[in-house]
Amino acid sequence: MNQVLNVIANRKSIRSYENTIIEQDIKDKIIESALRAPTAGNMMLYSIIEVSQQKDKDTLAKTCDNQPFIAKAPMVLIFLADYQRWYDYFKICGVNEIRQPGQGDLMLACCDALIAAQTSVIAAESLGIGSCYIGDIMENYQIHKELFDLPNYVFPITMLCFGYPTEQQLNRPLSKRFDKDYICFKDKYKRHSEKDFQNMYAQRHEQIFGKREEIKGAINVGQHMYQKKYNSDYARGMNRSVDLILEAWHKD
């Protein structure tokens, strides 16, 4: 296996870091790699904020679903879907009757930002630095908008914590993924049957439930994940926050 495939195959989310700073030249390599990511029309519809102030990391540890490890991360990057920069440039260039960025523009900018984020993850991993995505940055939009001075056409789509993994994290087994037959299709989308789902989630059911018959009223993975993720306070809070972001997106 070549080195790139080996990095991809062995990458896992890291939430506990050695008390070791990430040197500036290593940070530069990670960010420079992100800037080489594929981008729609070479427009680079994203911006990156490095959160360097400890007080801001402390705030994010609370506002992003109360995750203390965020405050301890040696490097924190927020990836922003950004159409504000082009919108401002269009005005400076004297474009007449500029239309407001629409939802399609937002989706494209989100793609750009996420591709750049994942490129930074692979670069960091190749340098021995672990990472963890924080989707919770989409929560508490009003707080984050003020904290980072975000204009209307900027969407905080994801955040990444970076650091050198502890020994325990290095030795932690990789999370299992679904078999590709349930995820990858040829030519047309496939909806799964009840039997497909039973086979697909059999291993995960054993992993979560073990010898227990239920967890907080849930008797299978679907019920468990519905309560834990889809219908959680976090999910409802995130959706309320994203509604505010979308509302701001349509303001000039």
> What was the pLDDT predicted at 248?
86
SS3 (DSSP) at 189: coil
**Which structural domains are found in the chain, ordered by start?**
3-172 (3.40.109.10)
Distance in angstroms (rounded) separating the CA atoms of residues 15 and 165? 8
Q: Record the pTM.
A: 0.95
Distance in angstroms (rounded) separating the CA atoms of residues 176 and 198? 16
> What was the pLDDT predicted at 234?
87
> What was the pLDDT predicted at 252?
65
- As averages over each run of 10 residues, the pLDDT of the chain (252 residues) reads 92 97 98 98 98 98 96 98 97 94 95 98 98 96 96 96 97 94 97 96 93 91 95 92 89 70
Alpha-carbon distances, residue 237 vs 68, 181, 232, 233 (angstroms) = 19, 34, 9, 6
> What was the pLDDT predicted at 174?
95
Burial of 175 (0-12, 13-18, 19+ CB in 10 A): exposed
> What was the pLDDT predicted at 78?
98
